[in-house]
Structure 1
Amino acid sequence: MSDLHTTSSGESHGSVSSYIIGFVLAVILTVLAFAVVATHSLSPSGTVLAISALALVQVLVHLHYFLHMGGGSEQRWNNICFVFTVGFVAIFIIGTLFIMNNTALHMMSR
């Protein structure tokens, strides 16, 4: 049985087992993040680092298993659009923080 199903328009969708694997991985990563916080087993900076790492892995799991983004040539446009969107959001957030900080500095000087 193939891991991907292809529709008549050429779009690929994951199989049920692929979705189950993604769901189980997402649940495990979420439980691990809650466990790190609930047990207080790490220092505050270690907790932030561990949660950040778990969040990054969680994003990668969602991209692969639910959004079907991979390294194949058929995914090129999806990947380009995703990179463009991430870049745009990063510029938007960094620009907003810069403008708000600059505004706050100028308001304090008066």
Structure 2
Amino acid sequence: MSHRQLSEQEAQEKSSELRTYLWGFGLALVLTLIPFGLTAYTQTAARTLYIVIAVCAVIQVVVHFRFFLHITLARNKREDLQLILFTVLILTIMVGGTLWILFNLYYRMMPAMLP
């Protein structure tokens, strides 16, 4: 098997893509370790921990979109972003509707156990 030599432009693109993946991995790792460290090693209030975890999770979603899925706000990537946003909308409607139905059933079936 022979391996062809990469041209200068291909080598530069490969290096740039590797750098992008490494940046994404580093940011994802940091955004995972921050909530873990706060939860495991500090005595922070529960509400503050929930806020920090939620903020880190949202930022990590953006990092994954940008660095791993290559979704940007560029004009040619708008269709991908619209597809992802539509998927999030449908999932939100489905999860919200399911929770609404479950809590409504719980309220109707077990009114004595409500807080």
Amino acid at match of 1:36: L
Larger helix fraction of residues: 2
Which structure's residues are more often strand, by fraction? 1
TM-score for both structures, normalised by structure 2: 0.79
Question: Structure 1: 5+ residue runs without aligned partners?
Answer: 6-13
Q: Tell me the SS of whatever aligns to 1:69.
A: coil
Which residue does 1:53 correspond to in 2? 55
Please give the per-residue CA displacement for 1:25-56, whole angstroms capped at 9, x wherever unaligned: 11111111111101224211111111111111
The aligned counterpart of 2:103 is 101
Question: 1:90 is paired with a residue of what secondary structure?
Answer: helix
TM-score, normalised to structure 1's length?
A: 0.82
Instruction: Decide which structure has the larger Cα Rg and report it.
Output: 2
**1:29-108 equivalences in 2 (<5 Å):** 29-108=31-110
Residues 50-89 of structure 1 show CA distances to partners (whole Å, capped at 9, x for unaligned) of 1111111111100100011110011111011001000000
- What letter is aligned with 1:84? F
| Partners of 1:108 and 1:33 in 2: CA distance | 36
Shift of 1:91: 0.2
Q: In 2, distance between residues paired with 1:107 and 1:79?
A: 42
- Matched residue pairs, number? 100
Partners of 1:33 and 1:107 in 2: how far apart?
A: 37
